[in-house]
Structure 1
Amino acid sequence: MSDIVRAKPFKVFFVVGEESGDQLGAEVIKSLRALIGERLQVCGIGGERMAIQGVSSLFPLDDIAVMGITAVLERLPTIIKRVHQSVDAVIAEQPDLLLIIDSPDFTHNVAKRVRKKAPHIPVVDYVSPSVWAWRPGRAKRMAVYVDRLLALLPFEPETHQRLGGPPCTYVGHPLIERLADLRPGPGERQPLGAGKKQLIVLPGSRGSEVTRLLEPFGKAVELICAQEPDVVVTIPAVPHQEARIREGVQSWAVKPYIVCGEAEKFAAMRKANAALAASGTVTLELAIAGVPMTVAYKLDWFFRRLKQMNRYVKIIGANTMVLPNLVLGDNSIPEFLEDEATPEAMSASVLRLLHDSPERQAQLDAFTRIDERMKLPAGDSQAGKAARAILETAGVLV
């Protein structure tokens, strides 16, 4: 069958809820243009990067880019208004495809309403909600209003198939295209025994994570340094948490170096011999950077209370909350959740990683398997694969 190229304009309506989605959206616009040229028309909701690519946003992302139960409740009237405004704009534009990117609490509310009012508009969801960790029933519900799901993690297509979710395609993770940022160059990471050992501590990027983990992490660091006095401790901070972290470490017995921003974080990872980290995307960054890690997480008060109130609701549906473990399909990375995340347990785990131990080597071996599972075919790119899947869903073959 010969390839079919649509002659008329191809209009995509974007619904993005935060900065990370803006980055993905901007890159996919570039790839769509590379495939179908100036026939591409873009509109919807986006941020600064998508504005450069021609998306004049209906409203600022700051209106809806909120995290945490309290922040959402405070902004709820505005968020509801923006959902309805977005739906009305999609119906008025009559795009060839609606592309929602991440931020499911907002974007999925738009998609569900569009499906009811205009079922002929194909809907693609770029970035799967974490149905493997929270509320697995969402997968089946999504199949009603999402025609294609573009996944960043290689295990997600099988997960959605098992849970009755929408058709799902693995398009790759942005981190696999940033190896030069994450992997040490010559001389950047000293081998164990060649000098002071470098420990990187990552208490999270959200205020609630930092609040819950900074104190036990500090006590764990104290125990580590009591046995390994030659350890240098570095904490990379995201800009909006820097002040909170600087204040929190004032009570630490061992004073860490604090660096700020993504570039400094990646530089610290390239030097690190081991890590103590909150569960999250940063664990995948560490795995790709080749840094053996110990991972901890404490649920916020809302989810902890919900677990106590309703024993029939299983909040965590996976056997692990650590992304590298989910990619690997095993628990190669040690994790300490809730009451398990004691300074004594975490420090003992990190100390094993600061030596040429079986535990350290097992993680280094596991990281090579992560590379194999996450890589894309030679010459392929994440945004390019996503763009082709979008066009295929809309019936445009290139």
Structure 2
Amino acid sequence: MRSVRQSTEGARTIKGTSFYQHFLFSQRIERFHFSVVHSARTYFPFKGERGPINIFSRRGVCTCKVFIVAGESSGDAIGSRLMASLRCLSPQPLVFAGVGGPLMEKEGFQSQFPIEDISVMGLVELIPHSLRLWRRLRETITAAIAFKPDLVITVDSKGFSFRVHRGITEAYAAKGCCRPLAVHYVAPSFWAWKGGEDKLKGLSKIVDHVLCILPFEDAVCRASGLGATFVGHPVLEEASVVTTADGKPQNGPFRSSRGVTFRQHYGLETGSTLLSVLPGSRLQEVQRMLPIFGEAVNLLQKSVADLKVAMPTPQCRLVTRRVEELVATWRVPVLVLPAASDTDKYNSFSASSAALCTSGTAVLQAHLACVPCVAAYRAHPLTEYFIRRRTKLKYISLPNILLDSAVIPEALFGSCTAGQIVSYLRPLMENKELQKKQLLTVEKVKNLLTPPVIEMPRCSAVASHSPETSALLRKPSIVAASCILRLLDQRTVKLACRAEA
């Protein structure tokens, strides 16, 4: 690496050359440096107190400024892993700013405002919060423009995210400047709605590239003129905490010593029946779903001996506080796991006989953890009416959508009652054949959500066919970060060539 350092220093001191010749030469050196660092950081992830250490860092390299926005708890988790992977792979120091939750803040930036201020979903549900959302939107756009980023990344929350991209695009256009690279992580569910594909065509004006988490999304995006890459589903990284040494999921209740340790740690008897309940990550979901779940659990207690509930909560104090208030009246003992980490959540899965989940990411998490589960969802009556009129889907849970089969029972909208939930949940907890039928699909779902192995740098001396390498290069956050850095590199070269021409 000494020659690379010398070459780069030389590039900064060449006299008699134009700025753009100097710039292009520096970029060629930087791209070579990127491939070396990409390989070394991927396979030798040295870590310090503040994260991975760049063993090839050098003084004089310009920082890359990244403005990143996540609007809810799941986006906070996705964003934090992406930030860590970008730091790990980038040849340049990165500076982050934007909007996110506690997990993203741990990766080294301060959110412009609490993530709960924009964590709202629905149609009618948005109305009481519209003024606050509009104010936060303007604050986000203003902060992004003042930050002068090289890259803008939004994570999920399509309504807020695309308005941020539009505002930034319009602001730069008004100044006659080229806007920063715009990337959206987690494609909008256009495939779920009638006429959804038509809405994609306008996105290419405000977003350069979409990172898709489902295997069928990237082709549809590209057909609409929008750059897209399938990077794998982020839940695959979370689910890795319950895999065995050979990478296969653990099956059956008490899937590992994790379940036994979890019960011992919290004083749960071995003979008791534990049910994991996940009411959602948004406050509005918790307030709507927990009363229904409470009725269902109280009914279930009549036929299930020594029933207990484990309830992981998201990284949001307001949601956790509301959960604790609502479960205080339940007749069944409830173990609340405040601000639960991925490990806490999957440990509770390992100790549970079944899971009851508000439809969303939690259903996929439980399924990949090999826990028999039931999905449920209620919304405002007008929102439910709109969904019924506009949706193209037969199912709402991702495993069911991917397999086009009702693998996971769903209690939705008007059918989401305590009695209906219990009618699905009780047989699933008692009937081994029903459990087996559901769990047999886990590996197929996992394979569908796994991205292809990213291409190895040519200079890498590590064999790309080794199991460790293959697993690492299939990590969704690594694939996403690699794609983003490649896009940045291509954009830099393109702008330099355009300027020289």
Q: TM-score range by the shorter chain?
A: 0.7 to 0.9
**Corresponding residue for 1:350?**
425
**Corresponding residue for 2:187?**
128
Change (3 A) 1:119 1:318: farther
Q: How far apart are 1:290 and its partner, in Å?
A: 0.8
Write the distance in 2 (CA, Å) between the matches of 1:49 and 1:254: 31
Select the residue among 293, 298, 302 that pairs with 2:378.
298
Question: 3-state SS of the aligned residue for 2:441?
Answer: helix
**5+ long unaligned stretches in structure 1:** none
**Corresponding residue for 2:217?**
156
Write the distance in 2 (CA, Å) between the matches of 1:159 and 1:230: 50
**Corresponding residue for 1:270?**
350
Write the distance in 2 (CA, Å) between the matches of 1:113 and 1:246: 39
**Corresponding residue for 2:477?**
383
Preserved CA contact (<8 Å) 1:160 1:168: yes
Preserved CA contact (<8 Å) 2:99 2:140: no
Change (3 A) 1:107 1:86: farther
Q: TM-score, normalised by structure 2?
A: 0.66
Question: 3-state SS of the aligned residue for 1:226?
Answer: coil
Write the distance in 2 (CA, Å) between the matches of 1:77 and 1:227: 49
Select the residue among 223, 234, 238 that pairs with 1:174.
234
Change (3 A) 1:272 1:134: farther
Change (3 A) 1:61 1:102: farther
**Corresponding residue for 1:72?**
129
Select the residue among 107, 125, 140 that pairs with 2:161.
107
1:225 aligns with 2:301: yes
Q: 1:146-202: per-residue Cα shift (whole Å, max 9, x none)?
A: 22111233343245457x372321222333223353454336269xxx833322222
**Corresponding residue for 2:283?**
207
**Corresponding residue for 1:373?**
448
Preserved CA contact (<8 Å) 1:176 1:375: yes
**Corresponding residue for 1:284?**
364
Question: 3-state SS of the aligned residue for 1:235?
Answer: strand
Q: Which moved more, 1:72-81 or 1:285-294?
A: 72-81
Preserved CA contact (<8 Å) 2:276 2:355: yes
Preserved CA contact (<8 Å) 1:125 1:146: yes
Letter in 2 for 1:167: G
Q: 1:261-302: per-residue Cα shift (whole Å, max 9, x none)?
A: 314433221111111111011111101211111111011355
Write the distance in 2 (CA, Å) between the matches of 1:175 and 1:262: 15
Preserved CA contact (<8 Å) 1:155 1:327: no
**Corresponding residue for 1:249?**
327
Write the distance in 2 (CA, Å) between the matches of 1:198 and 1:54: 37
Change (3 A) 1:66 1:227: closer
Preserved CA contact (<8 Å) 1:224 1:348: no
Change (3 A) 1:198 1:111: same
Q: Which has the larger radius of gyration?
A: 2
Write the distance in 1 (CA, Å) between the matches of 2:130 and 2:442: 40
Letter in 2 for 1:175: V
Q: 1:115-161: per-residue Cα shift (whole Å, max 9, x none)?
A: 34155643211222233446825433323322211123334324545
Q: 1:82-113: per-residue Cα shift (whole Å, max 9, x none)?
A: 144146336xx3x5443333333333112123
Write the distance in 1 (CA, Å) between the matches of 2:309 and 2:78: 33
Letter in 2 for 1:269: F
Letter in 1 for 2:167: R
Question: Number of paired residues?
Answer: 382
Change (3 A) 1:120 1:60: closer
Q: TM-score, normalised by structure 1?
A: 0.81
Letter in 2 for 1:14: F
